[in-house]
Amino acid sequence: MNPKLLTIIPKLVKLGLNQWWARRLLEQYKGINRSCQLILLDDGDETAIWVGIQDGEVKAKIGRYPATTTVTMDVDLFIDIVKGRVDFREALWHGAIQVESHDGRPWTLHAFLWSGFWDLVAEILR
């Protein structure tokens, strides 16, 4: 794991312990299995994090796993998004984030869905 990510570990733990967030997310995506392979880049180094909703549970794990979407960005940008300093959509439309679809749906649909996810993350972590 990239050492830069250590700066946001307390925020991610806070998110993981927030039961309200998990319930809201599961209500919003009831009956839907969605996943994102998040690829964070930093000077040739790569950190892969899988985040998803599977069988009614929110899950996250380190490593590469099959996903409906791949989102690739710089690790510093990811940290700024999690800390609420940068908006996911703004970074996406400026070309700083790449979104790939792996389920036949347009990448723009996945970008829209995941932008709402990052809004929720930023809201909880403020």
User: How many domains does the chain contain in total?
Assistant: 1
Whether 13 and 47 have beta carbons less than 8 Å apart is answered as no
Model pTM?
Answer: 0.78
- What is the rounded CA–CA span in Å between residue 100 and residue 50? 14
| Mean pLDDT taken over the chain | 80
- Host domain of residue 93: 3-125
List the strands of the sheet with 69-74, edge to edge.
57-62, 45-54, 34-42, 69-74, 98-101
Of 5-9, 37-41, 79-83, 110-114, least confident by mean pLDDT is 5-9
CATH of the domain at 74: 3.30.1050.10
Q: For the segment 9-22, what is each residue's pLDDT rounded down to a tens digit?
A: 666 666 665 666 66
